Amino acid sequence: MRKHAFRFIFLTALCAASAAVAQTPSSERTDNHRQAWLQVNLNGDMSTMNGGLQILAQNIGDDAPSASAVGRHRDGIGANGAQASAPAIKEETGFDPVRNRSEVIIFAFERGVIQTQLDLAYFYRNEAEFDGTAYHERGGWRAYRGNNLVGQGWFSPNSPEGVLRLEIVAYAPFDRLELFATPYVTESGVEIEPGLILTDSSDFLIEHIAYRVANEALAAAAR
């Protein structure tokens, strides 16, 4: 229910932006907005995939990312390796607390992108408790232009339903976006001590991505 509310707000925002461009004929406005945001639903069949986006994943122990490491679940996609002993869904991108590293999901864009919105699922606050301390899931992202890191950050759950709309803007257009999971964190953001909980850790599915391609002038300036 919550994710539909997010989508309604997003569409409402687009309509409001469209109304502000009062000088543009309505048919042209519609075309512009369709081009501005490319939308991809990442359910089991990924039927709306387009040619401008490639999705790769790297499981723990893999030497390199590959398309065959992408896991498909009815509620989204992730790296398909088993990341913890129980009870995680292996199609999630997850942190493995035993091997102390994370799987990675990678979006490679054909053209430089300036902004993305990702809808995450199965991503919870207060997922674990140890010795009276509550722990939340957490993830991280890194954006690259070629081999150059142009942005990075953390993201945390903010809804009881386990969904999160993650907005990513880097300081320059990027052609690769990597997302990974981290160890559990406390309310103040301190990572759990290694070895304290070995049966589960942070993990999430990505069910939708929308992205905006940078215009050519911006993309050229960033090279």
Footprint of Ca ion (CB under 5 A): 79, 81, 83, 90, 94, 103, 122, 203
> 139-164 in b/e burial notation, b at 16+ Cβ within 10 A?
bbbbbbbeeeebbeeebbbeeeebbb
* Residue whose C-alpha is closest to residue 93's, from 65, 112, 135: 65
Q: CB 122 → Ca ion: shortest distance, Å?
A: 4
Whether the Cβ atoms of residue 66 and residue 55 lie closer than 8 Å to each other: no
* Residue whose C-alpha is closest to residue 210's, from 53, 22, 84, 18: 53
Q: CB 149 → Ca ion: shortest distance, Å?
A: 24
Q: CB 10 → Ca ion: shortest distance, Å?
A: 23
* Residue whose C-alpha is closest to residue 143's, from 186, 184, 179: 179
Q: CB 180 → Ca ion: shortest distance, Å?
A: 11
* Residue whose C-alpha is closest to residue 123's, from 82, 156, 98: 156
Q: CB 80 → Ca ion: shortest distance, Å?
A: 6
Strand partners, 161: none
**Comparison of 103 and 119: residue with beta carbon closer to Ca ion:** 103
**Comparison of 77 and 177: residue with beta carbon closer to Ca ion:** 77
**Comparison of 105 and 114: residue with beta carbon closer to Ca ion:** 105
The Cα 150–Cα 173 span in angstroms is: 8
**Comparison of 94 and 183: residue with beta carbon closer to Ca ion:** 94
**Comparison of 59 and 116: residue with beta carbon closer to Ca ion:** 59
